[in-house]
Structure 1
Amino acid sequence: MTAPSLSSVTFFAFLGYVSLAILSSMRSSFTMGRSQPVSVPLLFLPLLLCSSSLSFGFVSAAGTSDGSEEWGYVQVRPKAHLFWWLYRSPQRIDTGSSPWPTLLWLQGGPGGTGVGIGNFQEIGPLDTNLRHRNSTWLQKADLLFVDNPVGTGYSFVEDESLFVRTDWEAATDLTTLLKKLYDEDESRQRSPLFIVAESYGGKFAVTAGLSILKAIEAGELKLKLGGLALGNSWISPEDFVAILLGPLLQDVSRLDIKDAVKSNIMAEKIRQEIKKGEYGNATNSWDELEEFISSSSNDVDFYNFLRDSGSDPISLAAVEVPRRLSMKIYPTYLSSKASSMSTDISSLMNGVIKDKLKIIPKTVSWGGQAGLVFEALADDFMKPRIHEVDELLSLGISVTIYNGQVDLICASKGTESWVQKLKWEGLKTFNYMDRKPLYCDSQGMAVTKGFLKSYQNFRFYWILGAGHFVPVDQPCVSLEMIAAITQSPAVSS
């Protein structure tokens, strides 16, 4: 593999450093209105791009001239580069008692890109047509997207041996990135960081959370960790696959008793492989079970069990669908979810967005190494991370679970199952707490959108009518949920 060069302005690095320091001190000066898009920085790229980018040592960074956006690379290991993109909220409120939060979004896959999918297809200020998203989470927090782990999205490695092979290796890289972003920026240090993750990103989140806490305790990272939110997260594969998949699909009439029995036999094989620590074999067996279920159910949608997987047109040009269907097909699934999002996400990210950012090496294609990211993590894919959730709770960190009602791949019933395996001392009391119904305005009608149960530093949201992608399926209640999780000063604005 030819090593791409990160530097577009390697000379006068000091001038670049000064430019970045000035940029970091800027604040957004525009207001987000519901009828007026915040897409101006993307629609008028030449006018709003910084006059310089930075490349020195481990960092290459740039941003918009008004300081509302910053992005860049951090070399987390020699020849291994993570890409990040930070949006500052135009609705930011600075109060001493309620600091404005920053939300770090981690996508799943592994190999799904937060900078692309999470940003333009789920929670960012613009959709894939560069139109304003009324439900953007930027209304409640600053948004930090990272293409995690290396090889995902715009992130890349110069040697294939450098892909991470465990969730903990990914956590170490992410902690290194945060050290670079936070340790010399006091404004960021004042903003509590909330890690919000989707799907496999939940495994990245809990390991990263512990890695971050260790770095903070050692005095290596100046950051306040506000909490974690795990959305439809792949925390315990055994609970989602081995004891649930067949029975759930039989309950909703996608499998009959004959196929459910065979599914259960295949699931038991996976459970035994996990029990023996044969995680690579369990991953392969999971592939076989997925293929069987797809065939026997006439292609049930793994992200919404009430639908067929072909009910939304999926553009294969966006992402090549690999052998492991369910955890890797979702970038294309999302790109076809909303009819208004007609732009191919891959074309967008390798076209106008890459042109805007300027610092992406010409030899780097967005998502070009994603398949290799997944393969490198195959032996960690089926490992549970329940213990890490327990450890975070015992340390007093706020942990929130949220799950879409009709998800199949990370079904609510499976999430409830692994939660009951927690050794957290508050679990018994939590179980007997009453749930609180959640509403969002629906033309003056009180329509139930979900339920919330909480006790001490643990919360669980059940989101009705949502599948795997809660912010896409239920944007209104999701926005209220994230405001509550982050304790955003904008919660009532």
Structure 2
Amino acid sequence: MDRPHFVALLLIPALCILLPHFHGGMAIAAGTQDGSEQWGYIQVRPGAHMFWWYYKSPYRTNDPNKPWPIILWLQGGPGSSGVGIGNFQEIGPLDTFLKHRNSTWLKKADLLFVDNPVGTGYSFVEDKELLVRTDEEAGRDLTTLLIKLFNKNKTLQRSPLYIVAESYGGKYAVTLGLSALKAIKDRKLKLILGGIALGDTWISPEDFVVSWGPLLRDVSRINNSGFKKSESLVEKIKQQIANGELKEATKSWNDLEQVIMESSNSVDFYNFLLDSSENNVSMTTAALSSRKMMIKRYSRNLDSLRVSVGSDGDLDTLMNGVIKKKLKIIPKNVTWGGQADLVFEYFENDFMNPRINEVDELLKAGVNVTVYSGQLDLICSNKGTEAWVEKLKWDGLQTFLSMDRTPLYCGDDKITKGFTKSYKNLYFYWILKAGHFVPTDQPCVALDMVGSITRSPGTTK
């Protein structure tokens, strides 16, 4: 597809966006000649443009008895890009050096990456007041995107869609799940919802912050003095959440992260066995309070896990360089991640809001819900995840909690990779030797897991 014609230079508060033509709410979409990739913009609301990128799996089958699944990947932040991080650093066909990834989830499903909410990654808004402020608003925008992608595509409609989320993306996933169910019931959305998977997700902020101090003390990362300082802030956060002072709780959460960093000598929030990948000298109070710095730390932690080194592996350089040139339809003055700081700022009132009730509603509606957790994660720790799961009101919970776990292996390797158990439509995976980024830390067992979640007929070869 040829590059779209740019027609207007809009001067708006804090933003300057050069817009392509949009037709029926969707930009001129593009793709590869063989049809294996498609991408484009969807205008989910006037002035709010969401970018999507769809990969058709080379392993896709057309057996009606074994429907081929589609995975919608939702990243966290708020403000982190699924098109960038999830795609090139975790599960897509290529890594940030544009080399083939042997563990790509395309072996089990088609992949749909979306830069959500608007303002994230390549997605953008023409006026900053069009940014969303709540998880529900993000879910509604995503439902609009699914309606415009799926309703006119019978091939997509025949494939069950699995919403797989990481980190803060879990809160979008559950609000999207409920919004999509309603749209399907109202016959506004033609889609088969296969299930929802919550990977190290920020479903209950209170349960996670409560877990940080005890966990770090147990592994000798902080001493009693640091523990007491963190516990004092945790009590403050709990009271603020109870009082509905969610913006204040977000600020206290940021203060707690700073106390943890200082008292632990910069523990890595995404793997508590490591030091933070940030330069300790530059980790000033101002930097810690910056939302964009938090998002960069989220991405750079993945950067530090790669064996290869070299400037050509930088994600920002990749997305604003060769990938932007390949896609062609990105407005010239839209910078990948350029509005991410604003995205986080607009979520300050909802960031510490729990979404346990939404998980309960999905389970009650019969939706398959999978929870998976990396053993070494701190920010969305196992302790915190187990705590919020135990708060579910779902009628199968007590039976689920009483069940034993089954060990997980991978291939011919009989070393324990994790554990799992399930009851009715709730599934739980504990992934050993993995931090926040399970697909990166344990790619083999993660691929097996997603094949099981999606009931995929795909191969691991």
What band does the TM-score fall into relative to the shorter chain? over 0.9
Give, in angstroms, the shift of residue 326 of structure 1: 5.0
Contact 2:258 2:288 in 1 (8 A): no
Query: Alpha-carbon deviations, 1:29-62, whole Å to 9, x = none?
Result: xxxxxxxxxxxxxxxxxxxxxxxxxx42311111
**Distance verdict in 2 for CA 1:434–1:303, change over 3 Å:** same
Instruction: Give the 3 Å change call, closer, same or farther, for CA 314–96 of structure 1 in structure 2.
Output: farther
Higher strand proportion (structure 1 or 2): 2
Could you say which residue in structure 1 is the equivalent of 2:376?
A: 406
> 2:401 — aligned with what?
431
In structure 2, what is the equivalent of residue 251 of structure 1? Answer: 218
Match of 2:336? Answer: 366
Shift of 1:412: 0.4
Find the counterpart in structure 2 of residue 105 from structure 1.
73
The residue that corresponds to 1:119 in the other structure is 87
Q: 5 Å matches for 1:121-200?
A: 121-200=89-168
1:86–1:143 contact (8 Å) kept in structure 2: yes
String of CA shifts for 1:241-299, please: whole Å, max 9, x gaps: 0x211111100111111221121111011011111111000000001111011011100
Which of 324, 337, 349 in structure 2 is aligned with 1:354? Answer: 324
Q: Structure 2: how far apart are the matches of 1:430 and 1:491?
A: 30
Q: SS state of the match for residue 4, structure 1?
A: strand
Q: Map residues 148-297 of structure 1 onto 2, 5 A cutoff.
A: 148-241=116-209, 243-297=210-264
SS of 2:361 mapped into structure 1: helix
Between the aligned partners of 2:68 and 2:406, the Cα distance in structure 1 is 26
> In the alignment, which residue of structure 2 is the partner of 1:475?
443
Aligned to 2:353: 383
For 1:15, the equivalent position in structure 2 comes to none
Q: CA deviation at 1:427?
A: 0.4
Distance in 1 between residues matched to 2:172 and 2:280, nearest whole Å: 30
The Cα shift of 1:310 comes to 3.3
> Structure 1 regions of 5+ residues with no counterpart?
11-54
In the alignment, which residue of structure 1 is the partner of 2:55?
87
Q: CA deviation at 1:4?
A: 3.2
- Distance verdict in 2 for CA 1:299–1:486, change over 3 Å: same
- 1:63 Cα shift? 0.5
Residue type at the aligned position of 2:197:
A
1:336-364 Cα deviation digits (max 9, x unpaired): 32022641101100111000000000010
Mapped partners of 1:321, 1:314: distance in 2: 12
Change (3 A) 1:219 1:492: same
Q: One-letter code of the match for 1:148?
A: N
* Counterparts of 2:52 and 2:117, CA distance in 1: 11
Partner of 1:47: none
Q: What secondary structure, in the 3-state scheme, does the structure 1 residue paired with 2:238 have?
A: helix
SS of 1:359's equivalent in the other structure is: coil
Structure 2, gaps ≥5 residues long: 1-11
8 Å contact 2:18–2:334 — kept in the other structure?
no
Alpha-carbon shift at residue 465 of structure 1 (Å): 0.1
| Residue aligned with 2:420, SS | strand
For 1:341 and 1:169, the matched residues in 2 are separated by 39
CA distance in 2, matches of 1:58, 1:188: 19
Cα deviation, residue 328, structure 1: 5.2
Residue 451 in structure 1 maps to residue 419 in structure 2? yes
* Between 444-453 and 479-488, the greater mean CA deviation after superposition: 444-453
Q: Aligned letter for 1:309? A: S
Within 1, Cα distance between the matches of 2:357 and 2:193?
A: 19
Of stretches 295-304 and 332-341 in structure 1, the one that deviates more from structure 2 is 332-341
Matched position secondary structure for 2:51: strand
Q: Percent identity?
A: 63
- CA distance in 1: counterparts of 2:309 and 2:31, whole angstroms: 25
- CA shift, 1:313, in A, is 11
* TM-score, normalised via structure 1 length: 0.87
CA drift of 1:445 comes to 3.8
Aligned residue for 1:258, secondary structure, equals helix
- With over 3 angstroms needed to count, the CA separation of the structure-2 counterparts of 1:327 and 1:247, relative to structure 1, is farther
CA distance in 2, matches of 1:427, 1:285: 32
Residue 362 of structure 2: aligned partner: 392
Give the counterpart letter for 2:202 in structure 1.
W
Is 1:334 the counterpart of 2:302? The answer is: yes
CA distance 1:129–1:209, shift in 2 (3 Å) = same
CA distance in 2, matches of 1:485, 1:177: 24
User: What letter matches 1:78 in structure 2?
Assistant: P
Q: Tell me whether 1:73 sits opposite 2:86 in the alignment.
A: no
* Cα pair distance change 1:448/1:312, threshold 3 Å: farther
- From 425, 443, 460, the equivalent of 2:428 is 460
* CA distance in 2: counterparts of 1:130 and 1:272, whole angstroms: 47
Contact 2:81 2:337 in 1 (8 A): yes
Counterpart-to-counterpart distance in 2, 1:313 and 1:290: 14
Which of 1 and 2 has higher RCO (CA within 8 Å, sep 6+)?
2
Residue identity matched to 2:95: D
Q: Deviations over 1:45-93 (max 9, x none)?
A: xxxxxxxxxx423111110110000000000011100000000000111
Cα distance in structure 1, aligned partners of 2:235 and 2:280: 34
Give deviations 1:412-454, integer Å, cap 9, x for gaps.
010000000000000000011111100013xx54110000010
Equivalent-residue separation in structure 1 for 2:100 and 2:252 (angstroms): 43
